[in-house]
Amino acid sequence: MTATNYPIRRALISVSDKTGLEDLGRALAAAQVEILSTGGSAKALAQAGIPVTEVAAHTGFPEIMDGRVKTLHPKIHGGLLARRDSDEHRHAQQVHGIPDIDLLVVNLYPFAKTVAGGGDWDDCIENIDVGGPAMLRGAAKNHDFVTVVTDPADYAKLLAEMQAQGGGTSLAFRRACARKTYAHTAAYDGAIAAWMSEQAADPLPESFGISGTRLQTLRYGENPHQQAAFYRSGPARPGVATALQLQGKELSYNNLNDTDAAFELVAEFDLPAIAIIKHANPCGVAVADDAAQLSAAYARALACDPVSAFGGIIALNRPLDAATATEIVKLFAEVVIAPAITAEARAVLAAKPNVRVLETGSLPDPKAKGLIVKSLAGGFLVQDRDAAHITAADLKVVTQRAPSAAEIADLLFAFRVAKHVKSNAIVYAKDGATVGIGAGQMSRVDSSRIAAWKADEAAKAAGSAESFAKGSVVASDAFFPFADGLLAAASAGATAVIQPGGSMRDADIIKAADEAGLAMVLTGVRHFRH
């Protein structure tokens, strides 16, 4: 009898999630495994006709304090922690009457589900498991001899392993189970710590933990020589982590990153909106007055930069219809994501089986709280999600000419797009559509010039002799440090400007806007995106 393959003769089962419990219990009983259990798990097994011994009968000590104390007993923890190859441990077991527990099957009180369901303080506290994590950690520590399973999805793997190993499990299997167990308990404790910090209005506590559940091992990361995986963490937010993939190849690292950027962008708008994204920056964005005009909005978004749009990500904030899908399939797209996709649209997209099609069911709330994490050498940065949502009431007119109602609508549209463009960001917009976008430049004036050039190129592609920037408005994600960027926009044909303000030279910028005949509004909010 060695630690390499140790047989399972006694199991302790205590689960909140009863999925697969009866099938597991029957299989263990058929393998002549003695089953110990607690509370609801024991009752469910007994009702299914599966032989089971209550933990209280095993320990000789009743459950007390409303079930808070039931498995915290030496007969439980000694049975899990005893090394089978230690004479000292074996002697202690004999003296104190502690039999081995070879298999632990535990999943924890549904703390996260209680929080998500709006549980009050007392409900959430009572759903913090104590005995479960203690047993899991002990069994995982003693994985040389004890098998520990936390996930009902692994029951079939356990039973297959036992059959292959003659009623036991291999050391490799037990080590894999132990790794998963410690990740599980870490995530559980992390969720509790995050909730308690939130209740204390302390979202950035002294100690900060990150945990997630792997959804997908990716072929590679940003580049083929990098390994990568996709994890789900924290409260569910509609998007790539919750979407149903209807067709297409497996999503890549870059697909996932770009699709997330696209879907978060279109969620900003109350009107029906479409965005085309490439390398996490928008190539074009447009809104429509109603969902029936989505295909027209797509055409206007595409017109902003039809060259860059090739191989891009297309996101909608309304159900994708057949008319819009028909236009989309005319251009190669990597991913299409929408809250819903009609049956007719699915049929159209099916003609392009390589296009990855995602349906989310709903939209993320752009104003919802959340945290963004970015890794650095030796640590990481954490910040609030940029949930600022500027409206007309937030605008401060600082020029002699006030913008018209149409200009205000376009200014707000352009500024919301700029929030999702890599800084330094400049966005030209007209009639609810982008017409030129300058992204990620070291100089704001360069971004302004690139955006104007993009507007010129798009006009040429459309056969227009006049730049798309003429008669547009322009948004800047941060203040203009000098007037040159503003004047570049005026030279391109912009008539109104939206920017945060706050520069030491604001007075000079306002004077330059007045001299150029521009209307300008300040938001007081900056939208850097690095």
By annotation, the residues acting in catalysis are: 141, 279
Question: Which residue in 280, 336, 523, 323 sits closest to 414, CA to CA?
Answer: 523
d(CA 441, CA 234): 33
Give the integer Cα–Cα distance in Å for 363 and 28: 44
Q: With beta carbons less than 8 A apart as the criterion, state whether 492 and 388 touch.
A: no
Burial class (CB in 10 A: 0-12, 13-18, 19+), 343: exposed
Angle, CA 491 vertex, CA 489 and CA 496 arms, to 5°: 45
- Which residues lie closer than 8 Å to 337 by C-beta, 6 or more apart? 240, 243, 259, 262, 263, 313, 314, 315, 316, 357, 358, 359, 360
Structure tokens at 483: 């007037």
Give the number of other Cβ atoms within 10 Å of residue 207's Cβ.
Answer: 7
Comparing CA positions, the residue from 140, 7, 158, 149 lying closest to residue 77 is: 140
Paired with 475 in beta bridges are: 427, 498
CA distances from 372 to 267, 369, 380, 386 (A): 17, 10, 10, 9
Q: What phi and psi, each to the nearest 5 degrees, are found at residue 470?
A: -65, 125
Q: What is the CA radius of gyration of the chain?
A: 30
